[in-house]
Each structure stands twice: as structure tokens, then as C-alpha cells.
Structure 1
Amino acid sequence: MEMFVAVKFVIFIGALASLSDAFQTCPGHKHYEELKCTPIRDKPDDKCPSRYECPDFKALDRSVCHLNGKKYNIGNNVSTSLPTCTKSCSCDGAEDEFGFSCEFDECAEAKDKPKLHCAYQFTIDSCCSTNTVCDKDEIDKLHRCWHNGHQFVEGNLIYPTNAPCYKCLCDKNYDNNTDVSESKSCKPVDCGIELHQLNYLQLGCIPVYFDDGLCCPFEFKCPIETDLIEEIGVKSEHVCKYADRSLNIGDKIKTADQCLECSCEVPPMAQCIRTITTEKCH
């Protein structure tokens, strides 16, 4: 999980998170991007795709791990092109359930008491701060950036409220009037879905997004016998899959979890929204 710093007082806040407009402006589509699905629009000028065409994850060899089109046998390591804060991963598992087991970076500033009057500086790809500036005169010399009424200093990471699947670095190139997809100071957030959760998709599980507007699904809902399909949608050519069940667009999955709402919205995967912003479901 990446960290950013708001100044003048340093505040650590855990933040979740394609250059395609679909993933910048259409909430709940991030898993389709990272799984290299192709967006399909009913009309060329539609902002959000009506469906996607995805690889057949169930057809993948389940005796190995998969990442970026490559196969990894048990014990094989991956240490390059990993999401931020992921140090290294190795293929692990048993029988026909394999996935990557990973080690994550531990940042000193996350464990130690924050130095409230210091500026912690990052690079766009760093998990932990690469420099700390505590001298007031030196902090005053740092370049300033503004986003959504908040001030950041040079080296701070900025998570745009209007584009939650992007992160930006406060530097001399940053301009909050420039679209994040065109800014040299910004890049997409990597949720690491294929790395961490591909084995769930092979089992027919579906992504769960939280209702706080952040980018990444950090939970997957796997089918159980008590799940029921509420057939209230409109019959259509393209459907969502939930394990071996098919849902028309608008159909819902009824579960025992009162804080989970699952439905078919954008084929071919059903997906869920978990409520975490009410007292009952917090």
C-alpha cells in the first residue's frame, strides 16, 4: 500500500489504487484493465464500455503460476516489474491451486513516530521515502504543488480525487490543470490484480470494490451454495459469469452479507460493492 504526505503537517494516509479514459472515468473497471481485457463500446463516443472481452482464465494451466503471459513453476521467483511496495514474489501452492507469495517493503516512516515538521520525499515509483527534509529554511525552498485545495511540497505523492486510479508526484512539471493521463508527473496505479488474485479468478470468484471511491478491488467474492441469483435484469446477448452461473445485466447475487451488493453491470464478470462508510458496516 502506497503512502503520501500532505504538508504543512506531515500526515500518512494509506492509499489504494491505464492511460485509457475507460479506467480513469469509469469506477469499478480497474480489474478489466489489469487483466488486459478489451473494452467494447456500443457507440464510439460512449464514455464507458458496455462490456469487455477477456482472456479465459479458467483455461489456464492450474499446475503453475501465471504473470504477464509467462509461466512460473513452484519456487520460481519474480523480482522485476512488480507493483510498488512489493519486494519479491515466488510461485507457491499445492495440487491445482497456485499463486504468488510475496514479500513487501517495510518503510521506517510507517513504523516510527512521524516527524510532523519534516517533509518526506518520494519518487513516483518508490514505496518508502527517499529523502527527509526537516530544516524549515530548506523546506521553504521546495517547489509547491496544489491539488483540490491542498498544498504539497516537492517530492510528495498526490492521489488525484478526480482520478483515483492515478498517482502523481509533486515536481516542477506538475500542473493540476493538466489531465493526469497527459501529465509527465502522473502514472496509473498498479493494483497487482494478476499477480495477487489471478487464482481467485480461475476459481470463478468476482472482484469486490469498496464504496469509498478508491481504485483497486482488495477482496474477491467466491461462490458458495447459499448464494442466490435475483433475476431482475434484462435478457441480453452478453452476460456476466459467476462461477458456472450466468447473469443478465441488472441481475443481483443475494448473499448473507448485508454489507455486500453484487450484480451484473458490465459483462463478462459480475462484481460487488462492499459498504464500509456506514456505522453498521465499518
Structure 2
Amino acid sequence: MINKKYIYTLQVCVFLFSIISADEQSSICDKSRCKGPVKYYESLGCTPIYSDADNCCPIRFNCDHLKGRARNKCYYRGRAYEIGEALEAENTLPCDINCVCSEGWKDIASFSCAEVDCFGLADPGCYLKSAHNQCCDWPQICPANETNLATCELDGKTYYDGQPFTPTSEPDLYCICGPGYTGQNVEPFCKNRNSESYPCDADLRGAYDIHNNCTPAFYINQNPATECNLMSRCQNKNDEVLKRTATTKTELETIDNPDWTCIFGNLTMNLGDELNQGTHYDSVCIRCVCEVPPYPTCQRLPDNECDVTVHAKFD
């Protein structure tokens, strides 16, 4: 006869194991291995869609909320702004100063922010004290004139209170020395450059690109899944879709499904399709492939594969 107490204990153990397994699965989600411009999608507020086998890397995103946006309004973090309206202070980063919704280029409203110059220099033997929540205007600190100044020891170097550093073993971290630092590279001392603390702010900087279905483009040393794009590729008259023959069951099933297509300007791409290269300055040595809809993933090719100085004359 089976002991009921044993069955109950077994059920509890199974339940606890399922919780631990879920936590472990969540903790080992490494977005750097994902395909597609994941961080760009997240910045736009798009909804990730996952497969049944992987709840870490999205297989596509739903960005339907971007459709039908008015040309005469600015958008940021789910709110629409009228022309002349200032961006809410609580939604800004330290260097987003005096951002106002303006008419923008080609009648597409966009935010215009104050130019920020952070090239201040400290006197010899001194440094400018940084802070995660401050943009420029850093006070000058001269250690020789200070007493009880907090220090941080890392990688064989000494940093003073307010001095930034990046751990050799964790290059994605941006840290600032402060009182209480014990060698643990965690907040409030360190922030991950690929985290929500450093959003791409695509709405704030790229209204024209969003309205025209341009796509983010990345340099060869960037990871599109975890980093922000520093350039974009927009459609021109010479752009074409290079069709790829579907070979897998998944590709065959997605050909006629609009949820599995990428948009680029007024062009439509199926999974695996690419854009032709070298059609304008923003597409020289840039490979664009539809892999995580609704935007193609575009990235510079390495110099040993493509010479960026060799291209046709563009209008």
C-alpha cells in the first residue's frame, strides 16, 4: 500500500523542481545569441513572439501599433505628442535636454533636442566626477586636495569616487566608483550598456525611419540583438528583393503568411530573402536578410569580404 504522505512529499518536490527549473531557465536566457534587432524592437514597444521550444529568443515581433501613426504627431513610450509639446521629464534620460515635438523633415513630426557637448577637460591631477543620472556639468575633483575620498580597486587599478571604469571581464558594463563598492560589479555602481538602462530610444531619434519603414543597420562589431543601431538603411529606387528558395518546412509554411514577412519601404520580404547591396551609400557592404520579422536584419560585412570604398557613383 502506497503511503499518502510519500505521495504528497513527492508532489511537493516535483512542484519545487519545476519552479527551480523555470528560474534557472530564466536566468540563463542569453539574448546575445538571438537573431534579429531585438533591442530595437524592444525600444519601439513591439511584442515578442516565441516558439514553443524557446522562450528566450523571439522568432518574430508584432509591431502593429506603429501602423497608422499620424505624420503630424510625435510618439514616445506609448504616448502621442502634439507639435510644440515638450517631452515629459520623467521619460527622459540625463542627456535628453529640452526635447520638443517639431514638424521634422519632409513633414514627419519628430523630437528636436538640445545639442549636448560633454568634452570638458579636468586640470592636471584632477578628474570630472561622473554620475549615472547626470549629463555633463560634472564637478572637478582633485584627489590631492580631498580627504576620505572613496576608492575602488579593480583589475590592478585604483579609481576614485565618481571615476568611470569598465571591468576587463565584463566589457558590457559601465561602472562608476562610489562609497560602498566592494568589488561586486552590480547596481548602483554598474549598469549594463545592453540593458533597459540604456534604451535605443528609436521613437525619440528615428521618427522618419519608422514612418518610411527603414530598417536599423549595424556595424560588423555590433550585436543587433543587444545593441542599438547607429545607422539605418532606407529604400531607394534601386533596391530589390533577392528571393531565396524555401527549403525547410517552416519556410514553406510562412511564405503566404503576412505575419512572417519583413517590410522594407514598400517592399515585402519572405523569410530568408535578402536585399541587393550597393544601391546607395547606406547599403554599400550592408547585408540585409529577413530572419526575425517585421524588419530585416542589416549589418556591415567585414572588410575582407567587401571593400566599402568600391561602389558606383550615386545621385
Determine if the TM-score, normalized by the shorter chain, exceeds 0.5.
Answer: yes
Does the aligned pair in 1 maintain the 2:152–2:183 contact within 8 Å? no
- Between Structure 1 and Structure 2, the one with more helix by share is 2
Distance in 1 of aligned mates of 2:81 and 2:63: 21
Distance 1:125 1:20 in 2: 29
Report the equivalent of 1:170. 177
CA shift for structure 1 position 45: 4.6
Structure scoring higher RCO (CA < 8 A, sep ≥ 6) equals: 1
What pairs with 1:128-167 in structure 2 (closer than 5 Å)? 128=136, 130-136=138-144, 138=146, 141-146=149-154, 152-158=159-165, 162=170, 164=172, 167=174
In the alignment, what sits opposite 1:87?
A: 97
Kindly provide the amino acid, as one letter, of the partner of residue 106 in structure 1.
Answer: D
Report what 1:100 is aligned to: 111
Where 2:204 maps in the other structure, the secondary structure is helix
Q: Which amino acid aligns with 1:154?
A: D
SS at match of 2:209: helix
The answer (yes or no) to whether the contact 1:212–1:277 under 8 Å persists in 2 is: no
CA distance 1:173–1:249, shift in 2 (3 Å): farther
Deviations 1:234-279 (A, max 9, x none): 4335222112322223221112143322111211211311358779
Is 1:185 the counterpart of 2:195? The answer is: no
Q: Distance in 1 between matches of 2:33 and 2:123?
A: 36
Q: Is 1:248–2:256 an aligned residue pair?
A: no
Instruction: Give the drift of 1:202.
Output: 1.4
The DSSP-based 3-state class of the residue aligned with 2:210 is helix
Deviations 1:190-238 (A, max 9, x none): 3321111133111111111222227221222111121121222643352
Q: Deviation at 1:97?
A: 1.3
Is the CA contact (8 Å cut-off) linking 2:73 and 2:82 kept in structure 1?
A: yes
The alignment partner of 1:56 has SS state of helix
Determine the C-alpha separation between the residues in 1 that align with 2:48 and 2:28: 10
Partner of 1:196: 205
Does structure 2 retain, via aligned residues, the 8 Å contact 1:83–1:192? no
Mapping of residues 118-133 of structure 1, within 5 Å: 118-128=126-136, 130-133=138-141
Specify which of 232, 236, 247 is matched with residue 220 of structure 1.
Answer: 232
- Distance apart, 1:34 and its partner CA: 0.9
CA–CA separation in structure 1 for the residues paired with 2:30 and 2:207: 22
In 2, are the aligned partners of 1:25 and 1:163 still within 8 Å (CA)?
A: no
Q: How does the TM-score come out when normalised to structure 1?
A: 0.74
1:258 to 284, 301, 315: 284
**1:65 paired residue number:** 74
Please say if residues 22 and 49 of structure 1, whose CA atoms lie closer than 8 Å, have aligned partners that are also in contact. Answer: no
Q: Structure 1: any 5+ residue segments left out of the alignment?
A: 1-18
The CA RMSD over aligned residues, in Å, is: 3.5
Return the offset for 1:111.
4.6
Provide the rounded CA distance (Å) in 1 between the counterparts of 2:165 and 2:43.
22
Could you tell me which residue of structure 2 aligns to residue 267 of structure 1? 293
CA 1:219–1:116 in 2, change beyond 3 Å: closer, same or farther? farther
Kindly provide the amino acid, as one letter, of the partner of residue 258 in structure 1: V
